[in-house]
Structure 1
Amino acid sequence: MADLINELQLKIERLENEINFKNGLISILSHDSKEIFGNFLLLIEALEQKTIREEDFFNLLPQVKSDAQKNLQTVQDSTAWLKTQYGEFEIKSVKIMVFDLFQRLEENYAVKLKEKNINFYFKGDTNSFLHTDRLLLEYVLDKILNNAVKYSLPGQDIHLQYVTENSEDIISVVDFGTGIGEKYLYAIFNYDNPVFNGTAGETGVGLSLKIVKNFVSLMHGNIKIVSTENKGTTVSIFLPKI
């Protein structure tokens, strides 16, 4: 009886998390879309009505571009999540070489790493492998590394490390950047948590980590974030060993 109650409580908790996630996603999409299109429309109308000088209009375009990039990222992240919710999506567990993941990330982030002069290293057995869904895992690691780069200072290091412990595969992205203050860390996956710009002014809405947590759950894993302000952040993904 106790086991049944615990199982029901877990199901209720998962449903509540799903509802909160969907409501938060709708709120972000609605707010951001209204904001960017509303601001852009006001700017165009001001130019047409000559209530703003052309020089001032063009000076504002970099901010419009930044807002558009942020909105596009939100749409892309939302699309990635939607693909897991409808249609024929199924978790496909395949053999994945961990070092291959590192090399793919290194290639995809070559430009950003070079721009900030960041060194990206792999720590672990280069012959190690795990079994899970490649699409979900690659998305998860991409978003975690993106944050690591965003909040790292020029010349710092970032590590992708892999270990096996207690029948779990553990993949971690370790950076030595700005870190997260303790008062913000506890609410990192909540929608009322503030979003900070990166060390080079990079912007975002904080949606990626919410989807990351959702995807890790789909892989039957867990995510843990350990961070100290001004010392760096370690984000670890714990996946059941198959």
Structure 2
Amino acid sequence: MNDLINELQLKIERLENEINFKNGLISILSHDSKELLGTFLWLTEELEQNTINEEDFFKLLPQVKRDAQKNLQTIQDTIAWLKTQYGEFKIKPVKIMVIDLFHYLEEKYAARLKEKRIKFYFKGDHNAFLTGDRMLLEYVLDKIFNNAVKYSLPGQDIYLQEVTEGGEVVLSIIDSGTGINEKYLPGIYTYGNPVFLGTAGEKGVGLSLKIVKNFISLLNGNIQIISTENKGTTVSLFLRKFIE
């Protein structure tokens, strides 16, 4: 009887988390879309009515561009999540070499790494591998690495570390950037935490880590975040070496 009650409680908790996640997602999409479109509409109307000159208009465009980039990222994250929620989505386990994941991040972020003069290194066995859904795993690492770059200062290093222990592979992205104040860590997957600018003014909506946690659960893995303000952050993924 107790086992049945515990199982029901877990199902209720899971459903509540899903509802909160979806409500938060809708709120972010609604707020960001209104903010971006409202600002752009105001600018064009001011220009049409000659209440703002072209010089001031063009001065405001970089801000509009940053808002548009943030909005686009939200939409892309949402689409990635929606793909796992509708239709017959199933995990597609394939053999993935960990070093290939390193090269994927290295190539995708080459321009940003160069811009910030950040060095990216691999630590671990170059022959290490795991089985998993490539789309989910690349998305997860992409978002974690994006945060590592965003909150690293120019000239700092970032590492992708691999440790295989029996049937588990631990992938960690380690940076020595701005870190997170410990008071914010307990609520990092909720919608109550503030959203911080990156060291080069990069903007975000705080959505990616929430989807990351969702995707890690689909991979039957776990995530751990250890961070110290002004010292850096280590995000570790605990994944099964083989999944079916």
Tell me if both proteins adopt one fold, taking TM over 0.5 as the criterion.
yes
Number of the residue aligned with 1:5: 5
Most deviating of 145-154 and 12-21: 12-21
Shifted more, 29-38 versus 156-165: the winner is 156-165
Q: CA deviation at 1:166?
A: 6.0
Please, which runs of 5 or more residues in structure 2 have no aligned partner? none
Q: Distance in 2 between matches of 1:4 and 1:124?
A: 43
CA distance in 2, matches of 1:221, 1:111: 31
Query: In the comparison of the two structures, how many residue pairs are matched?
Result: 242
Bigger mean CA offset, 62-71 vs 46-55 = 46-55
Q: What's the counterpart of residue 86 of structure 1?
A: 86
Question: Could you tell me which residue of structure 1 aligns to residue 56 of structure 2?
Answer: 56
1:137 alignment partner in structure 2: 137
How far the C-alpha of 1:117 sits from its partner, in A, is: 0.8
CA–CA distance in structure 1, aligned partners of residues 48 and 61 of structure 2: 16
Name the residue aligned to 1:182: 182
Correspondence for 1:168 = 168
Rounded Cα–Cα distance in structure 2 between residues aligned with 1:237 and 1:214: 13
Q: Deviations over 1:60-102 (max 9, x none)?
A: 0000011001000000110010111112321111111101110
Q: What is the CA–CA distance in structure 1 between the aligned matches of 2:201 and 2:53, rounded to whole Å?
A: 27
CA RMSD of aligned residues (A): 1.0
Aligned to 2:120: 120
CA distance in 2, matches of 1:92, 1:14: 23
Find the counterpart in structure 1 of residue 29 from structure 2.
29
| Alpha-carbon separation, structure 2, partners of 1:194 and 1:68 | 20
Counterparts in 2 of 1:127 and 1:166: CA distance versus 1, 3 Å:
closer
Q: Which amino acid is the alignment partner of residue 116 of structure 2?
A: K
**Secondary structure of the residue that 1:50 maps to in structure 2?**
coil
Unmatched segments (≥5 aa) in structure 1: none
| Structure 2 partner of 1:103 | 103
Shift of 1:15: 0.9
Give the conservation status (yes or no) of the 8 Å contact 2:128–2:164: no
TM-score (norm 1): 0.97
User: Matched residue of 2:52: which SS?
Assistant: coil
